[in-house]
Structure 1
Amino acid sequence: PLFLKVPVKLVTNKDGLRINSINNLIINNIKITTKFTNPLEIPVEFVEKNVKLRGKLHHITEKGLEVEHIPISIPFISPEGLLLIRLAGVELAAGGTAWLQRELLPKQPLWFQLLGRDSSALDCLVLVHKGGFFSMCLNEELLRQGLARAARIEGLPHHSRLYWKLHKRLLRAELKAVKKNKGIWKEQSYSERIQERISSNKFLQRLKQFVSRFRSSTER
């Protein structure tokens, strides 16, 4: 699956304390007992460490999934409120929202891994348990079904190793739909689909512009 295990380097201070171990203990305690109802309530360390949280689905909208955060230990007083979760690295196509509504059950339990956030929403990888040992990453599956296009992963530094590792996996999922003529790729020839992906890729467009400017400068 796409979910990440982020290694943590332990650092010892002058008093011989393992600083990161203490930080991790604090983070784990917050994960267990705190219910988040707003993206800005989530500590920045959670996003930086790509912490995985569990939740319960309430609504599917054009903007994303409205999810109730469920801490491991339910607090005595549990605040009300839903988190808006965007599927990171995915641009939904026609039929994508309808597929989610068919695929996901009311009150569907799920896990969401933090990659980025703003004041209104979280950008996440979303994992749904499908029975037994099988789980499905919604971000990947939408691309594999041809119901979305791979897009920039908001919240992650564009130059980071993690960004390109995830983006590469999402592109592979999309390529499976392209090869099998699924979803949005059904009516086009293989060469037309590849050309469309190249022309719609902003990174490749910027690269072409750079090469064009470079050639013009050398010809002067």
Structure 2
Amino acid sequence: MSVQKTTKFTSALDIPAAFVEKNVKLRGKLHHITEKGLEVEHVPISIPFFTSLQRKWQGPGLLLVRLAGVQLAPGALGWLQRHLRPSQIVWFQLLGREDEALECLVLVNKGRFLSVCLNEEILRQGLGRAARVDGLHHESRLYWRLHKRLLRAELKALKKKKGIWKEESYLERIRDRISSNKFVQMLKQFVSWLRNSV
């Protein structure tokens, strides 16, 4: 495995099954944020001479990295684009692979000693719902540990009424009730009929 850690993976299918089974953590450079996931260029552990040779004969080859255990809400993409910089270094822990996509926990360094798990942060902001962690066996200890972490993050957003959990304000509820009232709807139709007939 040590030799392969210096190998640059340009496709999800190039990554050995053992890496996925052992939930190996890889690092990469972020290129694009799309609706399908993060497009990341794998940056292997570098041996300077070897790395410069590799760059000459290998293209950037982007890996599609998805946030495992998270079902993204509509505002999530915009939030990711605002909080992540192009060419930012991210760490992604392999949890599963589905065709060309990798199911991962994605970590971003925020300062010297602090890293943030994007999977949890999206849920904490109320920009998604906790979902099944694809790729991991449901009986495994890791699956339940991760699922618990994700549910805890979602619960924080729910308690703080953030994102998709934000309740309508009292005025919004009254306005909705008034506009859905049958008498008010008939009155609107009558007014529009009057305007059209004049």
2:53 maps to 1:76? yes
Within 5 A, what are the aligned runs for 1:183-202? 183-187=163-167
Deviation at 1:164, TM superposition (A): 1.0
Code of the residue aligned with 1:116 in structure 2: it is: G
2:28 maps to 1:55? yes
Deviation at 1:99, TM superposition (A): 0.2
Query: Could you list the runs of 4 or more consecutive aligned residues of structure 1 that deviate by over 2 angstroms after TM superposition?
Result: none
Code of the residue aligned with 1:136 in structure 2: it is: V
Give, in whole Å, the separation in 2 of the partners of 1:137 and 1:56.
16
Give, in whole Å, the separation in 1 of the partners of 2:126 and 2:18.
34
Structure with bigger RCO (C-alpha 8 Å, 6+ apart):
2
Within 5 A, what are the aligned runs for 1:65-214? 65-73=38-46, 74=51, 76-78=53-55, 79-80=58-59, 81-187=61-167
Give the corresponding residue for 1:46: 19
Identity of aligned residues (%): 72
Structure-1-length-normalised TM-score: 0.71
Code of the residue aligned with 2:101 in structure 1: it is: A
Between Structure 1 and Structure 2, how many residues are aligned?
162
Q: Tell me the secondary structure at the aligned position of residue 114 of structure 1.
A: strand
Unaligned ranges ≥5, structure 1 = 1-26, 190-220
- Contact 1:35/1:75 (CA < 8 Å) preserved in 2? no
Structure-2-length-normalised TM-score: 0.79
Q: Tell me the secondary structure at the aligned position of residue 64 of structure 2.
A: strand
Q: Tell me the secondary structure at the aligned position of residue 139 of structure 2.
A: coil
Give the corresponding residue for 1:7: none
Encode CA deviations 1:49-88: one digit per residue, 9 max, x unaligned: 1000000000000000000000111251232210000000
Give the corresponding residue for 2:181: none
Encode CA deviations 1:136-168: one digit per residue, 9 max, x unaligned: 100000000000100010100122221111101
Encode CA deviations 1:15-42: one digit per residue, 9 max, x unaligned: xxxxxxxxxxxx12211x2000111100
- Contact 1:34/1:75 (CA < 8 Å) preserved in 2? no
Give, in whole Å, the separation in 2 of the partners of 1:174 and 1:114.
22
Task: Pick the structure with greater CA Rg.
Answer: 2
Code of the residue aligned with 1:58 in structure 2: it is: H
Aligned CA-pair RMSD: 1.3
